[in-house]
Chains A and B, each alone.
Chain A
Amino acid sequence: MHFTVRKIITAGLLAGSMLVAPAMAQEKVLRIGMTAADIPRTHGQPDQGFEGNRFTGIPMYDALTAWDLSSADKASVVIPGLATEWAVDANDKTKWVFKLRPGVKFHDGSALTADAIVWNVEKVLKRDAPHFDPSQVGVTVSRMPTLRSARKIDDLTVELTTSEPDSFLPINLTNLFIASPAHWNAKLAAVPASVTDPAERAKQAWVAFAAEPSGTGPFRGVRLQPRERFEMVANKGYWDPKRTPKIDRVVLLPLADANARTAALLSGQVDWVEAPAPDAMPRIRSGGFTIYSNPQPHVWPWQFSFAEGSPWLDKRVRHAANLCVNREELKTLLGGMMGIPKGSVSPDHPWWGNPSFDIKYDLATAKKLMTEAGHSAAKPLKVKVLTSASGSGQMQPVTMNEYLQQALKECFFDVELDVIEWNAVFTNWREGAKDPKARGANAINVTFATMDPFFAMVRFVSTKTFPPVSNNWGFFGNDEFDGLIAKARSTFDGKERDAALANLHKRIVEEAPFLWVAHDVGPRAMSAKVKGVVQPKSWFIDIAPMSID
């Protein structure tokens, strides 16, 4: 009898272990529901804005420089990536020398060398290069407008040349992801010989490369199903031990609709969703999911017009608008999903600069300033704002603008909201306030990213970026700002450059060419199974150090 019981127990344990063993060996899969409607391009230069960089850029590729995504508290700054060090030429400030990290290999096994860097620069800049790809030009070149060429010095040293001295280059280079030339050449060789046109051969090679990409990143792309899913597996031989993945496979699913994403999370189809439906937050929390958020380098503003006759020409009026908005109240209205701005960058950022004008809610001072400027409840100041009902990065534009309309009424503003189609607003952002398509508006509501100094500040305050050159929609600028920009651009020591940019930011906040309303906080909801999540103050997030139970 005892023998039989023992046998049963033994058999039970054996059967149990057989059941457990496969479970222990089970692949650890992380499934992510993105907001993008399609898989961002996978050949190294993603589209779909920064969500593309976040999911098919940074996980699979490295750039010469990278963003530090390891802290949720500190500002995310540029750190070495595939380059271990860099310096501008002391005699010719248009030339930079980058030293490459030794021993790095692409997913296909080929080695990272200076030739690969040159090849990657030429894929978007050298029109007669066999691998030149027009579809990668737009998303890359605009992010590094001064880069002109690359030259190999030795196997692990490369020289980059810019059109003018530009200390922003190392920041810009975070957007140039390094793809494997050897792998691309293999794909080119596999294009049927019947395709004879070199441009067509190159195009087909890139399409094949996108289906089976090869970079140097912590994950390797293995399966692309357009518009449905993209799978990446861990690159266990990744060069940075801190970022060697613990998750075996990452599955990216494009789920453009917020409700569909939320339902997919709640029903267990995915482990992580970007930007869940705002009204589902309590349900998500009560389901045991975690919501992560952190202010991003993003600004939700009204950008003022400085064209002749604009009501915003008076600095008191600009300051009054900034002091009249109770951002805490707005934050409550948005379910807590916004950051409160103190400028274009946050006070912990190296470019902060401690401006003398404090952006806060101070109704009494705002009213006083407006009274001094000659306005009252009986004689309100009419302003017209061009905005849209939706749009990339616009958060909840109608709700937010209507809140502002009400809030500013307290300070004697009579706000007219002109809500038009998003693309029309966006197009006018380049055309400027003086263009008839601005429809007489004297402020425009278009959000922007502040990752890099040009996009965060320069394009809005330089006289060289007046429309249609760039986005200085309101024609704000003068010699002082041009001088500050020139100083920042030509200061090549990292800390000194940041100090120069801090000066520029300080003056921007003090002059207030914007009404700073909010920072997006990039909410994402995850299953409690996902561990090791750090949501940095960035548009990006590092999947590599995460794990899943």
Chain B
Amino acid sequence: MLSYILKRLALTIPVAFGVSIVCFMLVHIAPGDPLTSVLPPDASAQLQAEMRALYGFDRPLPVQYGLWVMKTLQGDLGVSIATGRPVASELGKALGNTLMLAVLATMIGFLFGSLFGFVAGYFRDSWIDRLASFVSIIGVSVPHYWLGMVLVIIFSVQLNWLPATGAGPGGSAEWAWDWVHIRHLILPAVTMSVIPMGIIARTVRALVAEILSQEFVSGLRAKGLLDFGVFRHVVKNAAPTALAVMGLQLGYLLGGSILIETVFSWPGTGFLLGQAIFQRDLPLLQGTILVLAMFFVALNLVVDIMQSMLDPRVQRA
């Protein structure tokens, strides 16, 4: 087991290196000026050149990349051009907010997705299956920013039950786990949970259907196990894959959703990324993409390890 974990850890090093190159190159080949946020559009050509030199953007790309990687390895992600604040602290706060949102959304998504998936798979081709499948297809298909706006119109504007925007009356810095703050979390979390719910439901349904067709299920029934007992075995067999899908979904959600976080003005990583893109704030963009990509790498690692613990065949493969 330990050797498997070490092998997987070693494999993440070249992946991380590749990710850093892709991050750096992607933001540099995108159109737009990295000094958009500190230079007005009508700045003279001379002033633009001076500012480029002041910020070091006049250096060759390999030099810029080398300096960035060296600083990053020391834990310094640089300073946002637009705000002058350290990228690490900007990102830290945003990650905390997105984590809160993503974990809640994943929990909602996993709970309802698994429920719909198991029920649909177990009662395949029945009206329950069709209903559960319909709900999960809606979940995957509906544009979540649209759903967010609809929820806002219903629950904020018409009913005035839940707030439309923000992370609490005093902002995320004053977050507390009380109703006044939690009510700000409900609409974005529900909106965010719809896609993972649909994906998990569809995956679990297919898995359950496949497991039910296997011979061991007939064996279990032949042994006299009741439906609940068989269902327990099906759940146990489907769990590793469902868990892997959940892990990946959590990874996606940790990246934040630019659209959902913008609709709800939720100060998470998606919101941060959106701003960095529009302002062409390269240090913030590079730092955010790198950290989020590394999250994915780490999550994949954790899911792989968990899967190998649940199913030893994975290690052997």
Q: Which A positions have Cβ atoms within 8 angstroms of B?
A: 37-38, 41, 47, 49, 134-135, 137-139, 141-143, 145, 203, 206-207, 210, 225-229, 253-257, 259-260, 263-264, 266-269, 392, 421, 423-424, 426-427, 429-430, 448, 455, 459, 468-471
Min C-beta distance of B212 to chain A, whole Å: 45
Across the interface, do A37 and B278 meet the contact criterion of CB distance under 8 Å?
yes
Q: Is A263 touching B164 in the complex (CB atoms < 8 A)?
A: yes
Identify the closest chain B residue to A255 (Cβ): B265
For residue B10, give the distance in angstroms from its CB to the closest CB of chain A.
37
Partner of B263, one of A260, A429, A468, A470: A260
Contact with A along B91-126 (1 / 0, CB 8 A): 001100000000000000000000000000000000
Tell me if B47 and A141 are in contact (CB < 8 A).
Answer: yes
Across the interface, do B85 and A207 meet the contact criterion of CB distance under 8 Å? yes
Q: Can you add 11 more A-B contacts, CB < 8 Å, to A142-B47, A424-B31, A455-B42?
A: A137-B38, A138-B39, A138-B40, A225-B173, A253-B165, A257-B263, A259-B263, A263-B149, A263-B165, A266-B164, A470-B45
Contacts of A255 on B, CB cut-off 8 Å? 165, 265
B 154-194 contacts with A by CB, 8 A? 156-157, 160, 163-167, 170-173
Nearest to A423 among chain B residues (CB) is B32
**Structural contact, A260 and B165, CB atoms closer than 8 A:** yes
Please tell me if the beta carbons of A228 and B43 are within 8 angstroms of each other in the complex. Answer: no
From A47, A266, A423, give the contact of B157 (CB < 8 A).
A266
Closest 7 CB pairs of A and B: A138-B39, A263-B164, A142-B43, A228-B171, A423-B32, A267-B156, A225-B171
A139–B265 touching, CB < 8 Å: no
Closest CB of chain A to B158's CB: distance in Å? 9
- Ordered by A's residue number, 18 sampled pairs between the chains whose C-beta atoms are within 8 Å are A38-B275, A41-B83, A138-B39, A139-B40, A142-B44, A143-B40, A225-B172, A225-B173, A226-B90, A228-B265, A229-B170, A253-B265, A255-B165, A264-B164, A267-B163, A268-B160, A423-B280, A424-B31
A427-B33 contact in complex given A227-B267, A260-B265, A269-B166, C-beta closer than 8 Å: yes
Chain B residues with CB under 8 A of A38? 82-83, 275, 279
Question: Which residues in A have their C-beta under 8 angstroms from that of B170?
Answer: 229
Q: Is B156 a contact partner of A229 (Cβ separation < 8 A)?
A: no
The answer, yes or no, to whether B152 is at the interface (CB within 8 Å) is yes
Q: Once the chains bind, are A137 and B51 in contact (CB under 8 Å)?
A: yes
Task: Using A138-B35, A253-B265 as known contacts, say yes or no to A228 and B167 having CB atoms under 8 A apart.
Answer: yes
CA distance A298 to B160 in the complex (A): 37
Name which residue of chain A comes closest to B149, CB basis: A259
Return B52 CB to nearest CB of chain A, in Å. Answer: 10
Residue of B nearest to A230 (CB): B171
A267–B84 CB distance below 8 A: no
Report the separation of the CA atoms of residues A259 and B41 in the bound assembly, to the nearest whole angstrom.
Answer: 27
Q: Note all chain A residues with C-beta closer than 8 A to B45.
A: 430, 468-470
B164 touches A227 (CB 8 A): no
Please name all residues of chain A whose beta carbon is closer than 8 Å to the beta carbon of B157 when the two chains form the complex: 263, 266-267
Selected from B31, B163, B275, the residue in CB contact (under 8 A) with A227 is B275
B166 contacts A253, CB within 8 Å? Answer: yes
Contacts of B32 in A (CB 8 A): 423, 427
Instruction: Pick from A138, A268, A424, A459: contact of B38, CB below 8 A.
Output: A138
* A260: contacting residue among B33, B93, B164, CB under 8 A: B164
In the complex, whether B153 has a CB less than 8 A from a CB of chain A is: yes
On whether A228 and B262 interact (CB within 8 A), knowing A138-B43, A470-B44, the answer reads: no
Q: Is B37 an interface residue (CB 8 A)?
A: yes
Q: Name which residue of chain B comes closest to A421, CB basis.
A: B31
Chain B 35-79 per-residue mask, 1 if CB under 8 angstroms from chain A, else 0: 111111111110100110011000000000000000000000001
Contact B44 A228 (CB under 8 A): no
Q: Are B42 and A470 in contact (CB under 8 A)?
A: yes
Residue picked from A134, A267, A471, most chain B C-beta under 10 Å: A267
Q: How far is the CA of A259 from the CA of B148 in the complex (A)?
A: 11
- Which residues on the B side are within 8 Å of A145 (C-beta)? 44
Which residues of chain A are within 8 angstroms of B271 by Cβ–Cβ distance?
37, 227
**Are B165 and A137 interface neighbours, CB within 8 A?**
no
B167: chain A residues at CB < 8 Å are 228
Chain A residue numbers with a CB within 8 Å of B152 are 259-260, 263, 267
Chain B residue nearest to A140 (CB atoms) is B40
B40 and A267 contacting across the interface, CB-CB below 8 Å: no
Report the minimum CB–CB distance from A300 to chain B (whole Å).
15
Nearest A residue to B155, CB-CB: A267
Residue of B31, B79, B265, B274 with most partner-chain A CB within 10 A? B265
Chain B: which residue is nearest A454 at the CB level?
B42
Is the beta-carbon distance between A135 and B81 smaller than 8 angstroms?
Answer: yes
Nearest residue (CB) in B for A210 is B84
Q: Are B165 and A269 in contact (CB under 8 A)?
A: yes
Question: Is B24 part of the contact surface with A, judged by Cβ < 8 Å?
Answer: no
Chain A residue at minimal CB-CB distance from B37: A47
CA distance A507 to B265 in the complex (A): 47
- Nearest residue, chain B, Cβ from A268: B160
State how many angstroms separate the Cβ of A97 from the closest Cβ of chain B.
Answer: 27
Bound Cα distance A134, B48 (Å): 12
Q: How far is the CA of A138 from the CA of B31 in the complex (A)?
A: 20
Q: Is B201 an interface residue (CB 8 A)?
A: no
Tell which of A49, A143, A207, A225 touches B84, judged by Cβ atoms closer than 8 Å: A207
Say yes or no: A137 contacts B54, CB within 8 Å: yes
Give Cα distance in the complex from A255 to B267, angstroms. Answer: 11
B275 surroundings in chain A (CB, below 8 A): 37-38, 227
Residues of A within 8 A of B40 (CB): 49, 138-139, 142-143
Asked if B254 is at the interface of the complex by the 8 Å CB criterion, the answer is: no
Is A135 within 8 A of B38, CB to CB?
yes
Provide the bound-state CA to CA distance between A142 and B163, in Å.
41
Asked if A267 and B160 make an inter-chain contact with CB atoms under 8 angstroms apart, the answer reads yes
Asked whether, in the complex, the Cβ of B51 is within 8 Å of the Cβ of A138, the reply is: yes
- List residues 242-287 of chain B with CB under 8 A from any CB of chain A: 262-265, 267, 271-272, 274-275, 278-280
Q: A249: shortest Cβ distance to chain B, in Å? A: 12
Q: Which of A253, A257, A448 contacts B262 (CB 8 A)?
A: A257
Contact for A423 among B31, B263, B274, CB less than 8 A: B31
Contacting residues, chain A, for B166 (C-beta < 8 A)? 228, 253, 269
- Of the residues B42, B55, B156, contact of A263 by C-beta under 8 Å: B156
Chain A residues, Cβ within 8 Å of B156: 263, 266-267
When C-beta atoms are compared, the residue in chain B nearest to A467 turns out to be B45
Could you say which residues of chain A place their CB within 8 Å of the CB of B264? 260
State in angstroms the CA–CA spacing of A300 and B63 once bound together. 42
- Identify A469's interface contact among B44, B81, B171, CB under 8 A: B44
Residues of A within 8 A of B171 (CB): 225, 228-229
Q: Nearest Cβ distance between residue A437 and chain B, in whole angstroms?
A: 10
Chain B residue numbers with a CB within 8 Å of A259 are: 149, 152, 263
Q: Shortest distance in angstroms between A200's beta carbon and chain B's nearest beta carbon?
A: 10
